[in-house]
Amino acid sequence: MSIGKKIGDIAGEVYEKMLIDDIKRYQVPHHVGIITDGNRRYARSLGLSDNEGHVKGKEKLEEVLEWCMEVGVKIVTVYGFSTENFKRNNSEVDFLFHLINEALRDLMKDERIKKNGIRVKVIGETGKLPGYLKETIREVEQLTEGFKNFKFNLAIGYGGREEIINAIKSLVRDVQSGMEDLDSIDEKKFREYLYDGSIPDPDLILRTSGEERISNFLLWQSAYSELYFSDVNWPELKKVDFLRAISAYQSRKRRFGA
């Protein structure tokens, strides 16, 4: 390693520490939603296969969850596989499902899950997933359901519009059956019909790869979320990029429409 690179690394570490110290002086977002975009673009820029890009993306997620816990974030919801992703070629979809399955299996064996009290929950159209993945989801949710220190929500087979439509259908059925009173329905009641009505709205939504849209992610819940878009592809996200997103959130005055 050259002297210049060593100095650059040291300077980067000092800057990160300064950012962390500053961030901890102010209120951090309680719930962060993450759109992990750019795995394939990252891979293609390096001459790698798309699947190698997805593996790097999985590894990056493990890092980012550590960063979230370090600064005090309590809930993270990650857009892992959208309803639109079902349209990709079968081999890529199959690889992604096996990669997600492997990641969840690894989580169940990771001592940090119990140590940090991490509850894992999957939201989305899980009925469309392969049997082996549905079984793994059932096991990891059951294993971690009693943990309350940190919530990790993974959106698989997820679409915000689909979530709202499914909630409306379920609500209408309950109104028709007499289980719900039409005149008593409000935002609080509607939330109960979402995939997980216990999750508070995300304070911050972070998206990588330079795209500036939320792409059908948490449409109901993100009505007043702060949005932060990073130019780097997901596997290339550095800790300093993440810290800048948190710092940017802290610099904004949230008005909630007022």
Catalytic residues: 37, 85
Residue 30 among known ligand-binding residues: no
Phi, psi of 182 (to 5 degrees): -55, -40
3 is in an annotated binding site: no
Residue 112 marked ligand-binding? no
40 assigned ligand-binding residue: yes
The answer on whether 213 is annotated among ligand-binding residues is yes
Confirm or deny that 226 is annotated as ligand binding.
Answer: yes
198 has binding-site annotation: no
Binding site annotation covers 54?
yes
d(CA 201, CA 210): 23
State the DSSP string of the chain: --HHHHHHHHHHHHHHHHHHHHHTTSPPPSEEEEE---HHHHHHHTT--HHHHHHHHHHHHHHHHHHHHHHT--EEEEEEEESGGGGS-HHHHHHHHHHHHHHHHHHHH-HHHHHTTEEEEEES-GGGS-HHHHHHHHHHHHHHTT--SEEEEEEEEE-HHHHHHHHHHHHHHHHHTTSS-GGG--HHHHHTTSTTTTSPPPSEEEE-TT--S-TTSSTTTTTT-EEEE-SS-GGG--HHHHHHHHHHHHHS---TT-
Find all residues with CB under 8 Å of 70, minimum gap 6, and list them: 20
- Would you say 39 is a known binding-site residue? yes
Q: Is 252 annotated as a binding residue?
A: no
State yes or no: 207 annotated in a binding site.
yes
196 labeled binding residue: no
Q: Which residues are annotated as a binding site for Mg(2+)?
A: 37, 226
Q: Which residues are annotated as a binding site?
A: 37-41, 54, 82-84, 86, 88, 207, 213-215, 226
